[in-house]
Amino acid sequence: MPKPGKIRQRAANRQGERVKILISGWRIQRRIQALAKQIRRDFPDEPLHLVSVLKGGVFFLTDLARSIAGEVSFDFIAVSSYGKATRSSGQVRLTRDLDSSIEGKAVILVEDILDTGMTLQYLLRLFQHRKPKHLRVAVLLDKPERRIAPVHADYVGFSIPNEFVVGYGLDYAERYRNLPYVGVLSLGGNLKKEVAGE
């Protein structure tokens, strides 16, 4: 049976694609534990309701939820803004709504990455109309150079440069989500032309 490292390497070599590790799995887990403590300090006695944005936020949600002491529940919502391209389209649409009401709850919106801010701006407006008791935002990755909308996260794992990243839930055309780290994706010449033409 091939070693796990070799499996990941072959996956990263598809059609000339390369992934260079940016943030190791160990650093991610250590930072999530620190964020969990910070969140619980801000809400010492309240049940917390975490809402993950599918699909990229699932890894972050599960590790964050397991690291927060006390009562925690969660739900999921899905929006679309990327498709198969490496740049956000800027148009956000709801593709899956919450299963339950957030009215009166202490809600932490959990995102994999804060990029242009268009998705987060859309979700904040949507959630604020639903009258949660508290509404905070936790993101694993913040890419401030790409910001368009005037939004920010209350809890940030890492600020990163303006690179297209994959792994730990983030994907390119539904690939690389399962990598245990965050890496910078480089595309071969032909793929770059295809993406630029989308």
Instruction: Give the integer Cα–Cα distance in Å for 97 and 9.
Output: 36
Instruction: Give the integer Cα–Cα distance in Å for 140 and 32.
Output: 8
Tokens of 47: 């049940």
Tokens of 150: 């005037």
- Out of 115, 142, 154, 171, pick the active-site residue: 115
Instruction: Give the integer Cα–Cα distance in Å for 73 and 70.
Output: 10
Q: Strand pairing partners for 48?
A: 72, 106
Which backbone phi and psi does 74 adopt, to 5 degrees? -150, 165
Contact 185, 166 (CB under 8 A): yes
Residue 97 annotated as catalytic: no
Active site residues: 115
